[in-house]
Amino acid sequence: MKHRKLVYFCDWLPPDFGAVGQYSVLFARDWMARGYDVVLAGLSSTVDSSVRVDAPNGSLEIIRLKAEKYDKGSLRERALWTLRVNTKLITRVWRHLREADDILFTGSPPFLIHFLVPLNILLRKRIIYRITDFHPECIMAERGGGGLLLKALYRVTVFWRRHIHHFEALGEDQRERLKDIGIPESRIEIKRDPSPVEITSQTLPLERPDGYEGAVLLLYSGNWGVAHDTQTFIEAYRQHHKRGSGRVVLWLNALGAGARTVEEALQADGLPYVRGKPVPLDELASLLVTPDAHLITLKDDFVGFVLPSKIYGCLASGKPLIYVGSRNSDVHLLAGEAEARGVFYRNCPVAAVEALLTSLEELAGNGHATRMCMEPDCD
């Protein structure tokens, strides 16, 4: 029996850290189970490799291309890296592209649309865009606007988007962004990410960090990047420890510019926090059930352009959740559904420091924890 063929593009594949790559592996397996021969092409920080798995209904070949990391703070370096990586990915799987029935790409690496849609004039394949992140909108939001070049790039990007056959949007907020630029609703499917790991009543937690047994641990895990608010949390956390109960302690298990900003601020003020790092995927379920609560933040300018994928794992854990960000994001929609099922959930707008301080105090009471002793001579 002849199987349909799909080429699937993403960025960093496991074991490299990256939510898009983790989900891409899961979705590629789903496509294989549906009877496709799938080629999943992504990046690795260590090695070039190719691994193939055959199944009764299809197959999955995972191709990793070695690529260097880059400085996200330099627009020029980001552009050069994107050009190199996208060219390398397409060249590596060109034979598969010619044989494919469908091509699926994500928002990472960025700007693959500027390669694949023009090439499709020759290839004539069905193109599916799983729009994990909007580019260049994210860059424009990060920079507070766009100059002539970014605005021109945006117009060209919108032009190419109108030639995509099918969109997979992560949420209702993304669907609205696509409709705003003239994409017909009939071409947009809501296909949410699942939790990256299965969490059950049998999932065992990791050991809690030493010295914080009496604290209410608030975990921020994954990526705390430019799309995620920091200042609201920093100020509310400062006030929580200055004039509040001080029971909540941040467990910073994240990477990114925001994580560095938060850590530097807490160090400067001498505030307590636990510093960790992202865990391997096989430990993620245990990590998610270890803290007393989870924290998610999102800047207003990124709503609908970015949907923090960590929301699914946080909700699967059943733990309390604090979200700093707009109610227009699907983070609030999903968390609100969990709240209706009895999960402790608080939403605070960006810059609403007093509201977040109140939420931290409520969490401290909800956590049934006693304030940890911060002074060496206290009883």
Query: Using CA atoms, how far apart are residues 188 and 128, in angstroms rounded to an integer?
Result: 10
Is 373 a member of any domain?
no
Is 374 a member of any domain?
no
Q: Write the pLDDT tens digit of every residue in 103-138.
A: 999 999 999 999 999 999 999 999 999 999 999 999
Domain of residue 292, CATH code? 3.40.50.2000
| Confidence category of residue 367, pLDDT binned at 50, 70, 90 | low
Nearest to 196 by CA among 108, 287, 82, 87: 287
Question: How many domains does the chain fold into?
Answer: 2
Give the domain extent around 313. Answer: 216-366
Which pLDDT score, from 0 to 100, does residue 338 have? 97
Angle between helices 281-288 and 310-317 (to 10 degrees): 50
Are 172 and 239 contained in the same domain?
A: no
Is 72 a member of any domain?
yes
Nearest to 324 by CA among 304, 296, 359, 344: 296
Q: Which residue carries 């949420």 as its tokens?
A: 171
- This prediction's pTM: 0.91
Furthest-apart CA atoms within the chain: distance in Å: 75
Are 174 and 235 contained in the same domain?
A: no
In this predicted structure, the answer to whether residue 311 has a pLDDT above a threshold of 50 is yes
Query: Using CA atoms, how far apart are residues 202 and 286, in angstroms rounded to an integer?
Result: 10
Is 42 a member of any domain?
yes
Are 49 and 16 in contact, with CB atoms under 8 Å apart? no
Nearest to 212 by CA among 369, 360, 344: 369
Is 257 a member of any domain?
yes
Q: Write the pLDDT tens digit of every residue in 233-292.
A: 999 999 999 999 999 999 999 999 999 999 999 999 999 999 998 888 899 999 999 999
Q: Write the pLDDT tens digit of every residue in 63-99.
A: 999 999 877 767 788 889 999 999 999 999 999 999 9
Is 211 a member of any domain?
no
Nearest to 107 by CA among 11, 28, 26: 11
High-pLDDT (> 70) share of the chain, % = 96
Q: Write the pLDDT tens digit of every residue in 12-27.
A: 999 998 889 999 999 9
